[in-house]
Amino acid sequence: MHKNIAELRKAFESGKIDRRQLMQALGLTATAAFAAGAFPEATAFAGGAAQMNMAGSTALKAVAYNHLNYTVHDYAKVRDFYVNMFGMKVVYDDGKQCSVECGDPPNAIYIRPLNRPLDRPAGTGENAKWAEQMGTGNVDHFALSVENFQLEAVRAELARRGLDPKPDGDYAWTIKDPAGVVLQICATRGVYPGAAAPTAKESDGTKNLSSIPGPDGSGFKAVAVSHLMLYVPDVDKCRDFYTEQFGMKIVYYRPGDVFGVDAKGGPICFMKFGDNYLYLRKSQHPENKPYVSHFALIVENYDQAAVKAKLEKLGYKPTPDGRYGWSITDPAGMRTEVAGKGMAEHDGGDCNGNNAVCPGGADK
């Protein structure tokens, strides 16, 4: 028994097993020890591991989307759309890229040039359902703000968990999730587009902000990113990663079956952190690659009928997404939703994870 505990300790500290595997193994070891009335060190190590788990979860507790990195052909045109449609504030713009934000803690969208061809096969045959979701813009990574961020402490914790952090400026580290999606772990404030570049200066993007027009008053007032829809090869693996590593809470989970465009079947999961949500669905990419299909913004004083009327007045043809959201397309072809609070809980609970079977219809 002594040997088993020592081996578990060594495996955990070397990163060969994670917290969940450690606690499961310790539960079995400690149970056997208690039954024998011996090996109190099993209890001590289990308690210590639980404390490390609690401390780790606290140190890396996600509290907001720090930013979505959105690459497009015409950054200024897309910038103006989010400023006018959602009342977002431009907090950085160096003439090549920008950051627009809302909420507290800040939720930002980095709008940047599309610098490489998109991996978008033709929308025919088996690829049609996947391709029809995609526009010409691309969210190629996203970032999470974590509670009580300290640069070196976060690096050490990410490294201890075997997540191989890479430096990304003074306020962030970059890792990858199990699907290979680039993920930044950030301070709540201090990050800006291109911050990791050796010659980066925040003033390059803030000195001319007064010359950029603010909202024209025709749209809404965003208060947070509602959700990001991330399609991945293995939903369960990513679900465990985000809940265990960053403290996200499951709002809704359904095991594998047919869902929406997912004709091949697969589980879905909605997770909450702060005022934000991450939605996971099974990848429809022909090569089973991960991708983001859309994102949504929560607007204040949401009213289903009023939002629809305003969008139609602005020339859009909104499609319903439950009783708390309307979908439109932004200038880069990305599906973007105008949403109200409670959308995730409604979609996951009342609608059983599928808007198409929402009681009373999809717009109820």
Domain range summary for the chain, segments of one domain joined by + = 2-59, 62-211, 222-357
Q: Which fold has domain 62-211?
A: 2,3-Dihydroxybiphenyl 1,2-Dioxygenase; domain 1 (3.10.180)
- Tokens, residue 87: 């009342």
Give the tens place of pLDDT for each residue, 106-122: 999 999 998 765 554 44
Q: How many CB atoms are closer than 10 A to CB 33?
A: 21
| Residue 198 pLDDT exceeds 60 | yes
Cβ 242 vs Cβ 316: under 8 Å:
no
Nearest CA to 350 out of 338, 362, 336, 337 is that of 362
Give the tens place of pLDDT for each residue, 132-156: 555 556 999 999 999 999 999 999 9
For 203, counting Cβ atoms within 10 Å of its Cβ (0-12 exposed, 13-18 middle, 19+ buried), the class is exposed
pLDDT value at residue 32: 39
| Residue 360 pLDDT exceeds 80 | no
Give me the DSSP letters along 210-240. Answer: GGS----SSS--EEEEEEEEEEES-HHHHHH
CATH of 222-357, one of 3.20.20.60, 3.10.180.10, 1.20.140.10, 3.90.470.10: 3.10.180.10
pTM for the whole structure: 0.80
Equal fold, 62-211 vs 222-357: yes
